[in-house]
Amino acid sequence: MPDAISLRTTAKSGEAKASSRATLADPRRATRLVLAIFLGPALLVYCGLTAYPAFRTIYDSFFTIEGMDATFVGLANYRDLMGDETFWVAVRNTFIWSFVAPVIDVATGLLLALALYAGVPFARFLRVAWFTPVLLSYVVVAILWMWIYNYDWGVLNVMLRAVGLGDLASSWLGDPNLALAAVIVTHAWKWAGFNMVVCLAAIHSLPKEVLEASDLDNCGWGAKLRYIIVPMLRPTLLSLYILSFIGKMKVFDLVWIMTQGGPLWATETVSTYVYKRAFNWNTFDLGYPSAIATVWFLVVCAAVIILNRVLGSRERLEY
């Protein structure tokens, strides 16, 4: 028996020696302790403030939670959700926004990038200038555009009246038929510069020979765009589309400040509806909004996976 123990300890110390030798020999290995020091804080933050809350939201969605009291209700929240008309309006608006707006975003981005690539003067200045709105917060953008859309003195109506189209002047954010489009335009305004910069970087990284060869062949800009640039930029454009799509599925700030989802739910998005149900209406139940958040979480993940598959993008994504 003692022999066995001593054997085991010697074996262990032998192992320890071997492993310490291995760390010396292979700089790509590190001891558990070192890894824990490097990864520990980040994983702690991730588990405590991202993973745990996410699971808790999913768990909460099976309860009715009023203050400290949680009552188990099973799938009742989800059943209510299926019959909740406002939720479906919000889903419809968010989907319109998420599928249509990215096309506008990517197309403007590409065209702007091409203009800069074609060698217009002041290209550097223009690039920096067009990128500025990306850096403004949604609060700033929302306030600015509320003024631009103002019925009495907003830029848009003032210009329409100035050119004699006064009849077209309208209350852009107050009309249920126009409000969603007005908010979408604002969002596109903010992000155009971002798409432009990404497209420009991608165009610059295209192999020069191909573009030069097309120049020699007297290829016009239209043909160049259609047969060379767009096909070669395909992965970038698709990534941008998906990126923009994800951004729109999450959109909250802009809508919340500009219209609060109104008028008549015309700009209600899923995010604003969750917020309303959780913190704004005096329903005092956190279970139901948790159910909406859970459903939406699954929808976003599924949509991203499907889009990635369908569009066949091999690029890695972000946001």
Partner 1 sequence: MAAFLAAASGRAPLPRLFSRGILALVLGVYTIYQLGPFLWLATMSVRTTAEISADPYAWPSPMHLDQFRTAWVDSDFATYFWNSTMVVVGAVAVLTFIGAAAAHALARYRFRGNRLIYGILFSSIIFPPQITLISLYQILVDYNLYNSLFGLALVYISLQLPLTVYLLEGFFARIPQDLFDAAKMDGYGDLEIFWRIVLPVGMPAIATTLILNFIQLWNEFLFAVVLITDPDKRTLPIGIRAFMGDHFQDIGMIATGVMISVIPVIVVYVFFSEKLIRGMTAGAIK
**11 vs 49, beta carbon nearer partner 1:** 49
**63 vs 265, beta carbon nearer partner 1:** 63
129 binds partner 1 (CB under 8 A): yes
Ranges within 202-261 binding partner 1 (CB under 8 A): 202, 236, 239-240, 243, 246, 249-250, 252-253, 256-257
24 binds partner 1 (CB under 8 A): yes
> Whats the size of the chain, residue-wise?
319
**85 vs 318, beta carbon nearer partner 1:** 318
193 binds partner 1 (CB under 8 A): yes
Q: What are phi and psi of 316, to 5 degrees?
A: -85, 150
Using CB atoms within 10 Å of the CB of residue 270, give its burial: 0 to 12 exposed, 13 to 18 middle, 19+ buried.
buried
85 binds partner 1 (CB under 8 A): no
**7 vs 136, beta carbon nearer partner 1:** 136
30 binds partner 1 (CB under 8 A): yes
Q: Which of 12, 17, 29, 161 binds partner 1 (CB under 8 A)?
A: 29
93 binds partner 1 (CB under 8 A): no
Question: Cβ 99 to partner 1, closest distance in Å?
Answer: 16
131 binds partner 1 (CB under 8 A): yes
CA distance 303 to 300: 5
35 binds partner 1 (CB under 8 A): yes
DSSP for 107-136 reads: HHHHHHHHHHHTT-TTHHHHHHHHHHHHHS
11, two tokens = 């074996």
Q: Which of 7, 11, 103, 128 binds partner 1 (CB under 8 A)?
A: 128
Question: Taking the CB of residue 178, how many other CB atoms lie within 10 A of it?
Answer: 16
Question: Cβ 208 to partner 1, closest distance in Å?
Answer: 20
Q: Which of 87, 98, 274, 276 binds partner 1 (CB under 8 A)?
A: 274
278, two tokens = 């959780």
**CA angle, residues 312, 305, 187, in degrees to nearest 5:** 90
107 binds partner 1 (CB under 8 A): no
130 binds partner 1 (CB under 8 A): yes
118 binds partner 1 (CB under 8 A): yes
285 binds partner 1 (CB under 8 A): no
Helix/strand/coil (H/E/C) assignment for every residue in 141-200 = HHHHHHHHCCCCCCHHHHHHHHCCCHHHCCCCCCCCCCHHHHHHHHHHHHHHHHHHHHHH
**CA angle, residues 101, 104, 109, in degrees to nearest 5:** 125
Q: In this chain, which stretch among 7-15, 98-106, 137-145, 260-268 interacts with partner 1, using CB under 8 A? A: 137-145
Q: Which of 95, 169, 189, 214 binds partner 1 (CB under 8 A)?
A: 189
125, two tokens = 């200045």
Question: Taking the CB of residue 144, how many other CB atoms lie within 10 A of it?
Answer: 16
